[in-house]
Amino acid sequence: MQWASWSDFWAMGGYAFFVWGSYGVTAALMIAEVILVVRRRRATLEQLARAARMEKGQRNESSQ
């Protein structure tokens, strides 16, 4: 193990700002991308379902 304690680990030998600044932003961007992709999938499914319902409604109207 390279670190004597957790506070030692978080201090990163005095380079905490640079190291955690890099890892923090990278992690944030990757998580944000995953969230965006998941949200896009939900939005697509919802939109297509709505379009299908509308089409169904129209078909029912015209058959009556």
Partner 1 sequence: MTNLWLYFSSPKTFYPLAGKLIPVFSLLAIILIAIGLYMGFAVAPTDYKQGDSYRIIYIHVAAAWMSMFIYVVMAGWAAVGMIWNTKLSDMMAGSLAPTGAMFAFVALWTGALWGKPTWGTYWVWDARLTSELILLFLYVGFIALRSAIDDPRRAARASAVLAVVGVINVPIIYFSVRWWNTLHQGASVSPEMAPKMAATMLWAMFVMAMAFWMYTIAVVLARVRSEILERESSTEWVREILARQR
Nearer to partner 1 by Cβ, of 2 and 64: the residue is: 2
Residue 42: CB minimum distance to partner 1, A: 9
Q: How far apart are CA 4 and CA 26, in angstroms?
A: 26
Q: Name the residues that contact partner 1, by CB under 8 A.
A: 1-3, 9, 12-15, 17-19, 21-23, 25-26, 29-30, 33-34, 37-38, 40-41, 44-45, 48-49, 51-52
Nearest to 3 by CA among 13, 16, 14: 13
CB of 2 to partner 1, least distance (A): 6
DSSP letter string, 8-50:
HHHHGGGTHHHHHHHHHHHHHHHHHHHHHHHHHHHHHHHHHHH
Residue closer to partner 1 (CB basis): 36 or 63: 36
